[in-house]
A and B are shown apart, each in its own frame.
Chain A
C-alpha cells in the first residue's frame, strides 16, 4: 500500500512539474483519457522533427507512441482519468528514444505475436493492430516492468536517424 502510494505520488509530482506547456521540456504527462493523445502526438512529432527526422518519420514515431498510449489508457488504466502516464524523449547520437512511463499492471507488448497480415485481411479479423504497427515503424522496442527500485513500467520506443 505504501509502495503504491509512493508510485502515485511520484507520478503526480511529475505531472505537476511537467503539465505546463514547456517547449524545452523533454517530458509530458497526461491523465488516462483518449483526448490527451493528440497532445502527446504533437509533443513527440515536434521533438522528432527537431532531432532531424522528416515529417513522415516523425508521424510514424508519433503513431507508435499513440498506439502504446492508447493500449495503456484502455487496457491498463481502463479509461480512468485520475491515473497519469508520462512520455519522455531522450536522445543520444543517432538514437531517438521515447519512454512511456505508467503505473498500471505490467504488460509487455513484445510478448504479443504479430499477426500474419495476409491472413488477417483475408479472414476480416478485427483489432490487435496497434502493437504490430509499433513494431513495424520503430527500429527497436524495450520493456521493463516496475520494480522495487523503479515504481513505473517503462516502454522504450527507439528509432535511429539515418
Chain B
C-alpha cells in the first residue's frame, strides 16, 4: 500500500460543475476535511459536484460516509455528486458495499461532465 501524502483537495470549476481532486488518503482523520469542502460548496449554492479520485490511494468507511451525508439533499435540490477515475483498490471498497447502484462512478471526468450536462442522475436502486 502506498499512501504518500496525507490528504489534500484541489478545487477547479468547470462551468456549473465544481471538481474536487482528492490526493492522499481518506479515513477518519481526513474525511472531515472533505466534508467541510463539500458543505461549503453547498452553502454557496453549488449543487453539481464531481469528485476525482485519480490521486486517492485509500478510502475507509469514514470517507464513504461523506458521500452518503450529502447525496440525498443534493439530489432533492436537482444536483448530484459524481465520482471519477478511481483506482481498482478504491473502487473495490465502493463496489463491496454496492455504492455503484446509487452513485455514478465514471472512468473519466468527460463522461461525468456530459452526464451533468444531460441531467442524468443515477438513482435506480
- Judge: A and B partners, yes or no: yes
Which B residues touch A137, using CB under 8 A?
96
CB of B18 within 8 Å of the partner chain: no
Known: A38-B25, A59-B58, A121-B101. A133 touches B96 (CB 8 A): yes
Q: What 0/1 readout, one digit per residue, does chain A (106-150) give for beta carbons within 8 Å of chain B?
A: 000000000001100110111101101100110000000000000
How many angstroms between the C-alpha atoms of A137 and B60 in the bound complex? 12
Known: A62-B1, A122-B125. A34 touches B29 (CB 8 A): yes
How many angstroms between the C-alpha atoms of A48 and B19 in the bound complex? 35
Which A residues touch B101, using CB under 8 A?
118, 121
Which B residues touch A42, using CB under 8 A?
1, 3
Q: Distance in Å from the Cβ of B67 to the closest Cβ of chain A?
A: 10
Determine the residue in chain B with the shortest Cβ distance to A63.
Answer: B60
- Listed by A's residue number, 23 A-B pairs whose Cβ atoms lie within 8 Å are A37-B29, A37-B60, A41-B1, A41-B3, A42-B3, A45-B1, A55-B1, A56-B88, A56-B92, A58-B1, A59-B58, A70-B27, A70-B28, A70-B60, A70-B62, A117-B98, A121-B125, A129-B61, A129-B64, A130-B60, A130-B62, A132-B97, A136-B96
Q: Distance in Å from the Cβ of A44 to the closest Cβ of chain B?
A: 9
